[in-house]
Amino acid sequence: MTVAVRRWHVYIVRCADDTLYSGVALDVARRVAEHNGAGKRGARYTRARRPVTLVYRVSAGNRSAACKREYAIKQMTRRDKLKLIDGALRRKR
Protein backbone atom coordinates (compact mmCIF):
# COMPACT_ATOMS: atom_id res chain seq x y z
CA MET A 1 0.00 0.00 0.00
CA THR A 2 1.40 3.40 -0.97
CA VAL A 3 0.88 6.44 1.18
CA ALA A 4 0.44 9.76 -0.56
CA VAL A 5 2.82 12.38 0.80
CA ARG A 6 1.08 15.68 1.39
CA ARG A 7 3.34 18.64 0.81
CA TRP A 8 2.86 22.15 2.09
CA HIS A 9 2.96 24.97 -0.44
CA VAL A 10 3.37 28.72 -0.31
CA TYR A 11 1.21 30.55 -2.83
CA ILE A 12 0.46 34.05 -4.05
CA VAL A 13 -2.83 35.08 -5.64
CA ARG A 14 -3.55 38.26 -7.56
CA CYS A 15 -6.83 39.85 -6.50
CA ALA A 16 -9.29 41.64 -8.78
CA ASP A 17 -7.97 45.01 -7.52
CA ASP A 18 -4.42 43.93 -8.57
CA THR A 19 -3.20 43.46 -5.00
CA LEU A 20 -1.26 40.35 -4.00
CA TYR A 21 -2.11 37.95 -1.18
CA SER A 22 0.13 35.14 0.04
CA GLY A 23 -0.66 32.08 2.10
CA VAL A 24 0.20 28.45 2.85
CA ALA A 25 -1.84 25.34 2.13
CA LEU A 26 -1.66 21.61 1.58
CA ASP A 27 -4.15 21.80 -1.30
CA VAL A 28 -3.57 25.05 -3.19
CA ALA A 29 -6.38 24.50 -5.71
CA ARG A 30 -8.91 24.01 -2.89
CA ARG A 31 -7.57 27.06 -1.06
CA VAL A 32 -7.83 29.30 -4.14
CA ALA A 33 -11.41 28.05 -4.64
CA GLU A 34 -12.13 29.02 -1.03
CA HIS A 35 -10.68 32.49 -1.64
CA ASN A 36 -13.07 32.73 -4.58
CA GLY A 37 -16.10 31.88 -2.51
CA ALA A 38 -16.34 28.10 -2.30
CA GLY A 39 -17.30 27.41 1.30
CA LYS A 40 -16.84 29.91 4.09
CA ARG A 41 -13.10 29.61 4.61
CA GLY A 42 -11.75 32.33 2.32
CA ALA A 43 -9.58 35.01 3.89
CA ARG A 44 -11.29 38.24 4.91
CA TYR A 45 -8.80 40.18 2.76
CA THR A 46 -9.68 38.32 -0.44
CA ARG A 47 -13.42 38.19 0.23
CA ALA A 48 -13.85 41.79 -0.94
CA ARG A 49 -11.34 41.45 -3.78
CA ARG A 50 -12.70 38.53 -5.81
CA PRO A 51 -11.98 36.89 -8.11
CA VAL A 52 -8.42 35.88 -7.26
CA THR A 53 -6.00 34.15 -9.61
CA LEU A 54 -3.11 31.91 -8.61
CA VAL A 55 0.15 33.48 -9.83
CA TYR A 56 2.84 31.70 -7.76
CA ARG A 57 3.26 28.42 -5.93
CA VAL A 58 6.27 26.69 -4.43
CA SER A 59 6.60 23.50 -2.37
CA ALA A 60 7.97 23.53 1.14
CA GLY A 61 9.32 20.63 3.14
CA ASN A 62 6.84 21.01 6.00
CA ARG A 63 4.42 23.50 7.52
CA SER A 64 7.14 25.31 9.44
CA ALA A 65 9.22 25.85 6.30
CA ALA A 66 6.14 27.00 4.41
CA CYS A 67 5.24 29.53 7.11
CA LYS A 68 8.80 30.86 7.21
CA ARG A 69 8.81 31.30 3.43
CA GLU A 70 5.38 32.98 3.55
CA TYR A 71 6.66 35.39 6.20
CA ALA A 72 9.69 36.22 4.03
CA ILE A 73 7.39 36.89 1.06
CA LYS A 74 5.13 39.10 3.17
CA GLN A 75 8.19 41.19 4.10
CA MET A 76 9.06 41.79 0.43
CA THR A 77 8.12 44.93 -1.42
CA ARG A 78 5.49 44.66 -4.14
CA ARG A 79 8.22 45.12 -6.74
CA ASP A 80 10.19 42.17 -5.32
CA LYS A 81 7.06 39.99 -5.21
CA LEU A 82 6.38 40.77 -8.88
CA LYS A 83 9.98 39.83 -9.73
CA LEU A 84 9.53 36.54 -7.84
CA ILE A 85 6.32 35.81 -9.75
CA ASP A 86 7.91 36.76 -13.09
CA GLY A 87 10.92 34.54 -12.40
CA ALA A 88 8.68 31.58 -11.60
CA LEU A 89 6.71 32.13 -14.83
CA ARG A 90 9.91 32.28 -16.87
CA ARG A 91 11.16 29.00 -15.38
CA LYS A 92 7.88 27.29 -16.33
CA ARG A 93 8.25 28.13 -20.03
Where residue 41 sits, what CATH number does that domain have?
Answer: 3.40.1440.10
Would you place residue 93 in the very low, low, confident or very high pLDDT band (cuts 50, 70, 90)? Answer: low
Distances (CA, A) of 79 to 11, 51, 93: 17, 22, 22
Q: How many CB atoms lie within 10 A of CB 80?
A: 11
Closest CA to 52 of 12, 15, 21, 11: 15
Q: What is the pLDDT of residues 37-88, one digit of tens each?
A: 887 788 889 999 999 999 999 999 999 999 999 999 999 999 999 999 998 8
Q: What is the pLDDT of residue 89?
A: 76
pTM for this structure?
0.90
* Distance separating alpha carbons of residues 18 and 21, to the nearest angstrom: 10
Q: How many CB atoms lie within 10 A of CB 12?
A: 22
- The domain tally of the chain equals 1
Show the domain range for 29. Answer: 8-92
